[in-house]
Structure 1
Amino acid sequence: MDPVRYRILGTAQALRPDGSPVPVGGARLRALLTVLALRPGRTVPVRLLVDEVWDGDPPADAPGALQALVGRLRRALGADTVASAEGGYRLTAAPDDVDLHRFERLTGEGTRALADGDPAKAAVVLDDALALWHGPALADLPDRTAEAARWEARRLDALRARHTAALALGHAEQSLPELTGLCDAHPLDEPLQALRLRALRDAGRTAQALAAFEDVRQLLADRLGTDPGPELRALYAELLQPEELDGDGGAEGADPWGRPPRSRAHGGRG
């Protein structure tokens, strides 16, 4: 029975309808499957297939070598899975049959649910999206740097949205370990750092949140020569004086640059 699902978020795989894997041996065969699965249902020109499968170092008879490789892929997956078309080949699959495209669809649904004020739905959908990852994106492409970086960035978008939903649902404590790891891996990502500070605050760890802000402020100054952006500064103000928040969400007298607050007069006291 022909496979109906493909994985390229990790090592390239083809899955039968029952979920069992179809053996796809050989690095070039997996590279070919990856290039085709990136564009399901679309004809991929021979020149592009040759360039990506052989990484700019094609064999002498590149079209013949590609044709032989396509034949091997058909024998592994089924004769009808790769169609010949004018000037190229196409994977006879719908976008949702490929984990990368299904991930993109689910991520879009999850972020829209979050924007619509439904964090519970967003959490479920984004969990389904993130569960599709089984390793580095496009792991079998010889030169995967640029394309894979785009999908890794999209995965980070999904993770930010998932943790935003978790905080909205009151799950700050559960989010903290992964958020901390993500901030360690992406220390200059201010939206991630803001999520970690919010999680610390919501978990009742205000002192740790203030210390984390100072670490981020110092890091941005040392590496980029900049101060924290508006989101982090506003969050810092909230952390300093939650009892004095005004109607605009700011804190009176809070210094947004990470310096200790000055003394203030309240009711005649200095």
Structure 2
Amino acid sequence: MRYCILGTTRALRDDGTAVPLGGARLRALLTVLALHPGRTVPAGVLVDEVWDGDPPADAPGALQALVGRLRRALGRSAVESVEGGYRLAAGADAVDLHRFERLAGEGSRALEQGDAGKALTLLDEALALWAGPPLADLPDRAVPATRQESRRLGARRARLEAMRLLGRADDALWELAALCAAHPLDEPLQALRIRALRDAGRTAEALAAYEEVRAVLSERLGTDPGPELRGLYGELLHQEPGPVPAAYGDPRREAPGPAPAAYGSDRGREPGREPGSAA
């Protein structure tokens, strides 16, 4: 059995078919258990998460009944009763969120070690696991979902850097432009876009992008670009600039590439696929 919580909560059999699940509380219960595969989740934590701080009068009985319904859907052995709580009988790799974290970590390490090809393969596989906003069926999802979205952004940044290092800067530019528009204060991401423009032979656009970032940082934070961006700007000044397109200034129109696909795609085709949200 595999469990998906990067998007709507699902349980998949080994042949890929989905297990029919019940209502929102059943999906919330599975989400909380899948966040901690193979580990005991105290009954009190399950009640708080599933009923979002508004438990029923007989909370232990209601939780026990809900666990019974989940067992009927997944199989009795899927959810184990342990002292003080319950445990999803699954390894970390059976849950898409934990598999994503492992693959993204391995991809980032491969990139740091200079193996951009391996990094791209691993990061593509990691990001393909995202099918929508993470933990979508968790009632109080804001904090944990934000944390996962941040990890996804880091994986996307690493993937685009791997593409650049493999000589595919042009292929990365459309997604980079959209990401930079969504995260204008993310200096490492802005620096990556500027490097990709430079590597694609678009030095004038790279210089214009730097000026755009400098203006945004000054207006919103009252600061100048950091050392990485300033050093990159100095390098650009020693290159021969090319023509700036007339449409420059709107990053969503400026960069080449096809129109975005659905949330679940993260292979350079669409910018928001937090395949990717998770998302």
The aligned residue for residue 94 of structure 2 is 97
Deviation at 1:179, TM superposition (A): 0.6
Instruction: Report what 2:154 is aligned to.
Output: 157
Q: Secondary structure at the match of 2:109?
A: helix
Aligned counterpart in structure 2 of residue 54 of structure 1, from 45, 51, 55: 51
Q: Quick one: which of 130, 133, 136 aligns to 2:130? A: 133
Letter in 2 for 1:148: A
Q: How many residue pairs get matched?
A: 240
Matched residue type, 1:97: A
User: Is residue 202 from structure 1 mapped to residue 199 from structure 2 by the alignment?
Assistant: yes
Q: Any stretches of 5+ residues in structure 2 without a counterpart?
A: 241-279
SS at match of 1:21: coil
Partner of 2:232: 235
Q: Which residue of 2 aligns with 1:109?
A: 106
Higher RCO structure, 1 or 2 (CA under 8 Å, sep 6+): 2
Which amino acid letter does the alignment assign opposite residue 206 of structure 2? A
Q: Which residue of 2 is the match for residue 250 of structure 1?
A: none
Partner of residue 248, structure 2: none
Match of 2:12 among 11, 15, 26: 15
Among 184, 188, 193, the residue aligned to 1:187: 184
Identify the residue that residue 32 of structure 2 maps to in structure 1. 35
Determine helix, strand or coil for the equivalent of 2:77: coil
Equivalent AA in structure 1 for residue 11 of structure 2: A
Q: For 1:127-168, what per-residue CA distance to the aligned partner results, in whole angstroms no more than 9, with x for missing partners?
A: 000000001111111001111111111111111110110110
User: How many Å separate the matches in 2 of 1:216 and 1:23?
Assistant: 48
Q: Distance in 1 between matches of 2:130 and 2:99?
A: 11
Structure 1 alignment gaps of length 5 or more: 244-270
CA distance in 2, matches of 1:182, 1:25: 36
- 8 Å Cα contact 2:180/2:186 also seen in 1: yes
Give TM-score, length-normalised by structure 1: 0.88
Q: CA deviation at 1:20?
A: 1.1
Counterpart position of 2:217: 220
Aligned Cα RMSD in Å? 0.9
Quote the residue 1:252 is aligned against: none
Fraction of identical pairs, as percent: 73
Aligned mates of 1:22, 1:185 — CA distance in 2:
36
Distance 2:195 2:215 in 1: 19
Tell me the distance in 1 between the aligned counterparts of 2:18 and 2:217. Answer: 46
SS where residue 86 of structure 2 aligns?
strand
Q: Give the Å deviation of 1:242.
A: 3.4
Once residues 221 and 55 of structure 1 are traced to their aligned partners in structure 2, the CA distance between those partners, rounded to angstroms, is 41
Corresponding residue for 1:264? none
2:68 counterpart of 1:71 = yes
Distance in 2 (CA, whole Å) between partners of 1:195 and 1:24 is 42
SS at match of 1:32: helix
- 2: CA distance between counterparts of 1:67 and 1:120? 49
Q: Distance in 1 between matches of 2:221 and 2:138?
A: 33
Within 2, Cα distance between the matches of 1:54 and 1:240? 58
User: What amino acid does structure 2 have at the position aligned with 1:50?
Assistant: V
Q: 1:24 offset after TM fit, Å?
A: 1.3
Rounded Cα–Cα distance in structure 2 between residues aligned with 1:152 and 1:239: 32
TM-score (norm 2): 0.85
The 2-side partners of 1:20 and 1:225 are apart by 53
